[in-house]
Every structure is written in structure tokens, then in C-alpha cells.
Amino acid sequence: MKIIEDNISLSELKKMAEDMFGTLIKAVVDIEKEVMAVDAGMHSDEEELLLQNGSKQQNLWGINLYPEKTGEEFIEFDSMVNLRPSQGNRTRSVDDPKIREKIIIVVNKIVQK
């Protein structure tokens, strides 16, 4: 498990996916600090790592990345850490389109395709 602050190659993500789940890699994105934690079995572990490194809970969103896919299928907005009724997010997805867009921007900045 690690925090990606600069960038990560798509081939590195593919290797992580193969080692962990086969086709996907779990990630938690900090939309404020524009960093991403990857390579853990649970989103909550990545979330905890980011919190320990100064991230704020309200800026953290769990996603799954599918390195073999492209376009809208590359990112899946699905994680238990996204359940936040206090922020108006009542599902495992990311309900606010503005937050989704911020996540996409951060992922595209970090992942070198």
C-alpha cells in the first residue's frame, strides 16, 4: 500500500491488479491534496493511510480502477468509504457530479496512460 503523489504508470497498476484482485485495483483519492492511495485489499486501509498523512475525511473518496479498460469503464465509483450521509452521499457511489469530476481529474493527472 502506498500514496501516489506524482504519477504511476498504467503498467504498474496492471501489475498491482494482477497481484491483488486480477482485474481491478482499489484506490482512495484525496480530491483536495490531489493524491491517491493504492495497492490494498480494502479501501478503508487506504483511507486510514491518507488520514495518517494529513488528509481530511471529507476529501477522501473510494474508487476501483480497471487498468485493462478505457474511457468511463476505467474508473468505478464504488466503495463503502463513500457512505457519508452527513455529506449528502447516501450510497457506495459518488453521488455529486462535481466530486466525480474532481476524482476523474486527479486520477487522470496521476495515472500515466
Q: Give the largest Cα separation in the chain, rounded.
A: 37
Tell me how far apart the alpha carbons of residues 111 and 10 are, in angstroms, rounded to a whole number. 6
Give me the numbers of helices (H) and strands (E) for the chain, helices first please.
3, 7
- Per residue, what are the HEC states of 42-97? CHHHHHHHHHHCCCCHHHEEEEEECCCCCHHHCEECCCHHHCEHHHCECCCCCCCH
pTM (two decimals): 0.96
Measured at the alpha carbon of residue 16, what is the angle toward residues 62 and 94, in degrees to the nearest 5?
Answer: 15
Mean pLDDT of the chain, nearest integer: 96
pLDDT one-digit tens code per residue, 54-105: 999 999 999 999 999 999 999 999 999 999 999 999 999 999 999 999 999 9
CA distance 66 to 109: 16
- What is the per-residue pLDDT for 98? 97
